[in-house]
Structure 1
Amino acid sequence: MEDKKNKSALSEINGVNQPESISNTVAKNIQQFRRKQPSATELIDSICSGDKIALSRAITLIESTNVNHLTKANEVIQGCLPFANKSVRIGITGVPGVGKSTFIEAFGKHLTSLGKKVAVLAVDPSSSISNGSILGDKTRMEELVKDENAFIRPSASGDSLGGVARKTRESIILCEACGFDTIIIETVGVGQSETAVHSMVDFFLLLKIAGAGDELQGIKRGIMEMADTIVINKADGDNISKAKLAKTEFNRALHLFPAKKSGWVPKVTTCSAITKEGIDDVWQIISAYLEMAKANVYFQVKRKEQSQFWMLETINEQLKTRFYSHPDIIPLLESNKKAVQNNVISPFAAAQILLEHYYK
Structure 2
Amino acid sequence: MPNKKTHPSALHEKAGISPPEMISSAAVKNIQQFRKVQPSSIELVEGILAENITSLSRAITLVESTNVSHLVKANEVINACLPHANKSVRIGITGVPGVGKSTFIEAFGKYLTGLGKKVAVLAVDPSSTISHGSILGDKTRMEELVKDKNAYIRPSASGATLGGVARKTRETITLCEAGGFDTIIIETVGVGQSETAVHSMVDFFLLLKISGAGDELQGIKRGIMEMADAIVINKADGDNIKKAQFAKMEFNRALHLFPAKKSEWIPTTSTCSAITHEGIPEVWKTIEQFLELTKGNNSLFEKRKEQNQYWMLETIDEQLKLNFYNHPEIQKLLDSTKKSVQNDEISPFAAASFLLKMYFKK
Q: Which range, TM-score by smaller chain?
A: over 0.9
User: Does the alignment pair 1:350 with 2:351?
Assistant: yes
Percent sequence identity over aligned pairs: 76
User: Does the alignment pair 1:181 with 2:179?
Assistant: no
Give, in whole Å, the separation in 1 of the partners of 2:121 and 2:22. Answer: 41
RMSD in angstroms over aligned alpha carbons?
1.7
CA contact (8 A) 1:157 1:166 kept: no
What are the equivalent positions in structure 2 for 1:120-269 lying under 5 Å apart?
120-217=121-218, 220-269=221-270
Q: Residue 313 of structure 1 aligns to which amino acid in structure 2?
A: E
Q: Residue 342 of structure 1 aligns to which amino acid in structure 2?
A: N
Task: Report the CA distance between 1:250 and its aligned residue.
Answer: 0.4
CA contact (8 A) 1:218 1:250 kept: no
Give, in whole Å, the separation in 2 of the partners of 1:218 and 1:272. Answer: 26
What are the equivalent positions in structure 2 for 1:278-317 lying under 5 Å apart?
278-317=279-318
What are the equivalent positions in structure 2 for 1:98-137 lying under 5 Å apart?
98-137=99-138
Task: Report the CA distance between 1:220 and its aligned residue.
Answer: 3.6
Give, in whole Å, the separation in 2 of the partners of 1:119 and 1:157. Answer: 18
CA contact (8 A) 2:166 2:197 kept: no
Task: Report the CA distance between 1:30 and its aligned residue.
Answer: 3.5
Give, in whole Å, the separation in 2 of the partners of 1:284 and 1:19. Answer: 57
SS in 2 for 1:92: strand
Task: Return 5+ residue gaps in structure 2 as ranges.
Answer: 1-18
Flag the 1:157–1:166 CA change in 2: closer, same or farther, 3 A.
farther
SS in 1 for 2:154: strand
Give, in whole Å, the separation in 2 of the partners of 1:297 and 1:331. Answer: 52
Give, in whole Å, the separation in 2 of the partners of 1:342 and 1:47. Answer: 52
Task: Report the CA distance between 1:54 and its aligned residue.
Answer: 0.8
Task: Return 5+ residue gaps in structure 1 as ranges.
Answer: 1-17
Matching residue of 2:4: none
Calculate the TM-score normalised by the size of structure 2.
Answer: 0.92
Flag the 1:278–1:325 CA change in 2: closer, same or farther, 3 A.
same
SS in 1 for 2:97: coil
- Residues matched between the structures, number: 343
Comparing 207-216 and 149-158, the one that deviates more: 207-216
Flag the 1:33–1:346 CA change in 2: closer, same or farther, 3 A.
same
Post-superposition CA distance 1:231-279 (Å, at most 9, x none): 0000000000000000000010011111000001000000000000000
Matching residue of 1:91: 92
Task: Report the CA distance between 1:213 and its aligned residue.
Answer: 1.4
Give, in whole Å, the separation in 1 of the partners of 2:180 and 2:329. Answer: 44
Give, in whole Å, the separation in 2 of the partners of 1:314 and 1:227. Answer: 25
SS in 1 for 2:54: helix
Post-superposition CA distance 1:67-115 (Å, at most 9, x none): 0111101101111111000000000000000000000000000000001
Flag the 1:111–1:21 CA change in 2: closer, same or farther, 3 A.
closer
Q: Residue 324 of structure 1 aligns to which amino acid in structure 2?
A: Y
Matching residue of 1:335: 336
CA contact (8 A) 1:101 1:141 kept: yes
SS in 2 for 1:328: helix
Task: Report the CA distance between 1:24 and its aligned residue.
Answer: 7.1
Matching residue of 1:70: 71
SS in 1 for 2:278: coil
Flag the 1:19–1:203 CA change in 2: closer, same or farther, 3 A.
closer
SS in 2 for 1:167: helix
Matching residue of 2:34: 33
